[in-house]
Chain A
Amino acid sequence: MLSISHYLVLSLALFTIGVIGVVTRRNVIIILMSIELILNAVNINLVAFSRLMGSVNGQVFAIFVITDAAAEAAVGLGIIIAFFRNRETVLEDEMDLLKW
């Protein structure tokens, strides 16, 4: 039988993998994608609790998380494009100077 623990463990697993992606990879775009994975893990958690409690608040909060993830992805990718135009790189350890 499925209990809330299954969903919590799944959410934790995805969260951990997302954090590993953020901390470990060099390519900034893959770091952004790992952040999206973290947000999804949080969404699974919210929806699982919403189902457990029988209230719709968790799902509404998950909708807001998705909306904010969209906004943040758009702005983050804009920053990456602007940076790439100036420095020709997308690797995080080469983005280490504030000016020339």
Chain B
Amino acid sequence: MLDSIFFYFFAGLAVVSAILMVTRRNAVHSAIFLVTALLATAGIFLQLHAEFLFIVQVILYVGGIMVLFVFVIMLVNLDVAVRQMRFNRMWVVGLLLTLALGAQVYMVYRYVRMGDAPSLFNMAPAPAAQLEPNTQLIGQALFSDPYVLPFELASILLLVSMIGAVVMAKRKV
């Protein structure tokens, strides 16, 4: 029962923050609402007993990426933006098409099943007491057989993107 309370709290916070984020006029307010949406997502991870991912989300996403966003918003902050239109000229079409897409995906979740397999929609996960320590499992997976190569490639990717970002933001190349 406590599980459900936490889930609905974090889910509600995430959805409300997301809606507020895409409708604010001021970009810094949008950034703050994205921060709350990301923290609510971290809460969902914690509620799913994925504690390492919870803390990685907080450290990297909220504490790293969003700080970068807030910096850039402050650098390009224009007062003119306050008086301009928020949405582009085709917002009605965009909104309707996206809602149709969402409805289609929901239909897929709800009604599609493969052969005689039971519908995915009502499966419940195993009880939490049988889980092993989460950090250890992820560490073992990342540093040994399945995922060590993608791990090393991810670090090269980060190096490349760091060099790219530095070069692009320089005034004279």
In-complex Cβ contact of A51 among B105, B125, B154 (8 A): B125
Residues of B within 8 A of A68 (CB): 154, 157
Residues of A within 8 A of B94 (CB): 20, 23-24
On whether A71 and B121 interact (CB within 8 A), knowing A9-B106, A24-B22, the answer reads no
Contact across chains for A72 and B161 when beta carbons are under 8 A apart? yes
Closest to B171 in A: A85
> Is B73 an interface residue, CB under 8 A from the partner?
yes
Closest to B158 in A: A71
CA distance in complex: A65, B41 (Å): 14
On whether A29 and B123 interact (CB within 8 A), knowing A14-B14, A51-B48, the answer reads no
CA distance in complex: A70, B154 (Å): 11
Contact across chains for A19 and B98 when beta carbons are under 8 A apart? yes
CA distance in complex: A67, B155 (Å): 9
> Is B15 an interface residue, CB under 8 A from the partner?
yes
CA distance in complex: A59, B49 (Å): 11
CB distance from B98 to the nearest CB of A (A): 5
Contact across chains for B141 and A26 when beta carbons are under 8 A apart? no
Residues of B within 8 A of A51 (CB): 48-50, 125
CA distance in complex: A34, B3 (Å): 28
Contact across chains for B21 and A33 when beta carbons are under 8 A apart? yes
CA distance in complex: A1, B4 (Å): 7
Number of chain B residues close to chain A: CB under 8 A: 84
Contact across chains for B98 and A63 when beta carbons are under 8 A apart? no
CB distance from A12 to the nearest CB of B (A): 6
On whether A10 and B11 interact (CB within 8 A), knowing A62-B53, A81-B169, the answer reads yes
Contact across chains for A70 and B34 when beta carbons are under 8 A apart? no
Residues of A within 8 A of B21 (CB): 17, 21, 30, 33-34, 37
> Is B129 an interface residue, CB under 8 A from the partner?
no
> Is B91 an interface residue, CB under 8 A from the partner?
yes
CA distance in complex: A17, B95 (Å): 9
Q: Which 5 residue pairs of A and B lie closest in terms of their CB atoms, listed nearest first?
A: A23-B94, A71-B161, A21-B22, A78-B168, A16-B102
Give me 22 A-to-B residue pairs in the complex whose CB atoms sit less than 8 angstroms apart, sorted by A's number.
A3-B123, A5-B121, A8-B109, A8-B121, A10-B11, A16-B98, A16-B99, A18-B18, A20-B98, A24-B87, A24-B88, A27-B86, A52-B123, A56-B141, A59-B53, A71-B157, A71-B161, A74-B164, A78-B168, A80-B76, A81-B169, A84-B76
